[in-house]
Amino acid sequence: MYNTTDHHKSLFRIRNTTDIIRAVTCLLILILFTHPLQAQERGIDSLRQTGKAFASVAKKASPAVVFIQVEMAAKGNSTMEFSSPFGGTSPFDDEFFRHFFGPFSPGQQGQPRQAPPQRHAVGQGSGFIVSTDGYILTNNHVVGDADKITVKLEDGREFTAKTIGTDPRSDVALIKIDAEGLPVLSLGDSDALEVGEWVVAIGNPFGLSHTLTVGVVSAKGRSSVGLADYENFIQTDAAINPGNSGGPMVDLDGHAVGMNTAIFSRSGGYIGIGFAIPINMIKSIKQQLLDSGSVTRGYLGIVIQDLTSDLAKSFGLDVHKGVLIADVSKDSPAERAGLKQGDVIIEFDGKPVDKVGPFRNRVALNAPGSSKPITVLRKGERQTLSITIGKLPEGEQQASISGAPKTLDKLGLTVQTLTPDLAQQFDLKGQKGVVITQVKPGSVAAIAGIQPGTVIQEVNRTPVSNVDECLQAVVKTPEHHSVLLLIRKGHYSRFVALKTE
């Protein structure tokens, strides 16, 4: 018999289930449609906050950023010349300066015009105020040997600045204007800066005052750029253009962490690679410029080179980081400390040593007369010595180590025993060894940068004094091993490992 009560209960359950399904469906629809909207709002809020952060940095830092215009007398002897901005007689007339100076003397580039006996070349750059009484940091290549420096503040005031000191080796300069109560940009900690962090570049690119660009730190410790003797650049993708030179690189806290200095560009414009001098390097230089107008650097008296994997293998070492001593100067701090040719420096002042560039910078920033521990690997054994830092002699340049040239076919070298005539020909008076007279183009020696006039002093750590000794030593090199040469060019020696496979 049919039970109506059970039937009604069943219908009730169906209706409840349907209602539940409808409710769940509606809820899912609401979730699906509202979630993207909420996510979009959150994304927009995040962008707003980022924008506010950059705006805050601009408000905090921009008042302390200055526009710098320089003038320099440029003399010309010719009555007819092309209107390149500074003329061939000006030190500003190279590609480096053209990348970083804005408007120059009038005239259409490439069009001949009548040149007066004397004219003024005009260039521009940026800087930032570091004291309320008018001290300003900028690049040496901005102010250089300028006859007149004009500084313009954000509020429109203009001042004539005087140069306190310049340091061409690091490309840092300190100038001063006669003013009080100026806005100051605080100096941060570039060592704490990490790759990937946001940074802001502020300056006057192309004469456009107080322009702000944003990017990230792309890399740190760039030391083979070739812009200065002492390099430890911060690399960034923040747009740095001509006129930005000397302006600050600022972190999100509004602290200067670097000085915008250079761009890598084939066209002269921004392509995403810019370089800034780290502020921690600048701090020490600034203080010395303030105290004495010049910079005194620490000195060890060694010629050094990076330890490549080939050199490490040739020396029987398992390490692949460190700095190889290619030569030790006589009566130098290094010689007095007991450092020897062939030592590999792995620590200095308690910190690891990886590459030549950063190591040179660290030594240079130490005060002459201070004593520091230095750890080396000597024939595979670790030794720690104490070295007293000397003062870098006037005119001492970065070790210029290039390389080497009777017939060593597998190396591509032609060598001769060093005779008095050859010594005179190649200016090798007082040298001993085998002189390279020719280098075969495309050979392993040529690829390594070895040049005629270079002296081979050792082959595989064995001194050689004539051609026969040199040939025998090369022939004795085990198969699939590199030939390790100690070569000398000019005043400097270096090791080079040549693969012969």
Provide the residue ranges of all domains of the chain, joining segments of one domain with +: 63-176, 190-292, 298-391, 413-498
Q: Which helix (H) or strand (E) holds 123?
A: strand 118-129
Range 388-415 burial, b when 16+ CB lie within 10 A, else e: ebbebeeeeeebebebbbbebebbbbbb
CB contact at 8 A, 453 and 436? yes
Fold of 413-498: Pdz3 Domain (2.30.42)
What average pLDDT does this structure show over 338-365?
Answer: 90
User: Could you tell me how far CA 297 lies from the centroid of its own chain?
Assistant: 18
- Please write the tens of the pLDDT for every residue from 149-178: 999 999 999 999 999 999 988 899 999 999
Superfamily of domain 298-391: PDZ domain (2.30.42.10)
Is 171 among the catalytic positions?
yes
Per-residue model confidence as pLDDT tens digits over 116-146: 555 567 888 999 999 999 999 999 989 987 8
Higher pLDDT, 167 or 228: 167
417: tokens are 């025993």
At 380-434, the pLDDT tens digits run 899 999 999 998 776 454 333 222 334 677 788 888 877 666 676 677 777 878 8
- The pTM of the full predicted model, rounded to 2 decimals, is 0.63
CA separation (Å) from 463 to 342, 431, 433, 455? 13, 13, 8, 12
The continuous run of DSSP H or E covering 26 comes out as helix 4-61
327 is catalytic: no
Which of 141, 190, 343, 493 is flagged as catalytic? Answer: 141
Say whether pLDDT at 38 is over 70: no
Three-class SS state of 141: helix
Task: Examine the residue annotation and report whether 141 is marked as an active-site residue of this protein.
Answer: yes
**CA-CA distance, 361 to 282, in Å (whole number)?**
12
| Pick among 3.90.1150.10, 2.40.10.10, 3.10.310.10, 3.40.50.10860: CATH of 190-292 | 2.40.10.10
Active-site residue, from 126, 245, 482, 493: 245
Collect all residues with Cβ–Cβ distance below 8 Å to 19 and sequence separation of at least 6.
Answer: none
Question: Has residue 186 got a pLDDT over 90?
Answer: yes
Instruction: Indicate the fold that domain 63-176 takes in CATH.
Output: Thrombin, subunit H (2.40.10)
Give the active site residue among 167, 171, 251, 327.
171
Task: Say if 298-391 and 413-498 have the same CATH topology.
Answer: yes
Rounded to 5°, the CA angle 186-188-191 comes to 165
